[in-house]
Amino acid sequence: MERKNKDLIYASIIWFVLTFVGEMLLPSWRFIASPPYSIEGELIDEAFNLLLVLGFPVFTFVLVALFYSIFRYRVKEDDLSEDGPALHGSTSVWLTWLIVTGLLAVIVLIHPGFTGVSELRSNPTADMVVQIEGQQWNWTFTYPEYDITIDKADTLVLPVDTRIRFEVSSVDVIHSFWVPAFRMKIDAVPGLTTTMYLTVTETGTFEENPNLRVQCAELCGTGHARMRASVEVVTAEEFAAWVEAMQANAP
């Protein structure tokens, strides 16, 4: 009994220290290599970091229990002389465990779970519409308000600080419209129009950040990997100029 308590105390201290140090270091860990270019992307990065923070104590708990046991209780490999104590776990241990794991599940379900869905997927207003059409293996971008359609486009031009509704569809198989820098994707399903809302917050080009690209994310056949287009986020003035130039060039 005495040894059992000692081990519990030691393991708890190691767990606490490890968790504490880890949680202090986590914020400076640059897992996410490039900045989000949208309000929604920021929310998603925050949700990601929050889940890291919440998951870390669980990670260290199992790790410490596992490695403490391995190092502390190891005996000679062929030593069958002695059995360990016949522990079965009292009901209170099990109920505590269920409550803790249950509570953790409820917490992440509420935030960032419910909050994430309501922030990202439940506000159907937009300043501007861009229609995205996938086909094997390129994209067509249409700006209905400006009468601009770009077939087999290699660049998607977007104005900064504008809430955009992407109306996404496909003419053949299922594709997926993904801009890694915006942290969002939505499938392009034949026979359906799916939507995705985004407010881009920073100007930039594919050359500056390769995650500023449209990438098909749903396997769609031979050309899937290269079904890409670059994304260019420009200021409102630059966008107006681009629209004008496009309209002037139209047949």
Distance separating alpha carbons of residues 216 and 187, to the nearest angstrom: 9
* Nearest to 35, CA basis, from 160, 203, 235: 203
Per CB under 8 A, 176 contacts another protein: yes
Burial of 165-195, coded b for 16+ CB within 10 Å and e otherwise, reads bbbbbbeebebbbbbbbbbbbbbbbeeeebe
- Structure-token pair, residue 35: 């900045």
User: Of these partners, another protein, Cu ion, none, which one is at the site of residue 10 (CB under 5 to 8 Å by kind)?
Assistant: none
Nearer to Cu ion, 175 or 183 (CB): 175
Among the listed residues 208, 220, 204, the one whose alpha carbon sits nearest the alpha carbon of residue 156? 204
248 binds, options another protein, Cu ion, none, Cβ within 5 to 8 A by partner type: none
Beta carbon of residue 102, minimum distance to another protein (angstroms, whole number): 6
Q: Which does 202 bind (CB under 5 to 8 A by kind): another protein, Cu ion, none?
A: none
Closest distance to Cu ion from the beta carbon of 235 (Å): 30
> Rule CB under 8 A: which of 31-90 touch another protein?
31-34, 41, 43-44, 47-48, 51, 55, 58-59, 62-63, 65-66, 69-70, 73-80, 82-89
For 37, phi then psi, to 5°, come to -100, 10
Q: Closest separation between CB of residue 150 and Cu ion, Å?
A: 17
130 lines the binding site for another protein (CB under 8 A): no
On the CB side of 13, how many CA atoms lie within 13 Å of its CA?
5
153 binds Cu ion (CB under 5 A): no
Which residue in the set 26, 219, 236, 250 belongs to the binding site for another protein (CB under 8 A)? 219
Q: How far apart are CA 34 and CA 40, in angstroms?
A: 15
> Which residues would be at the binding site for Cu ion (CB under 5 A)?
175, 216, 220, 227
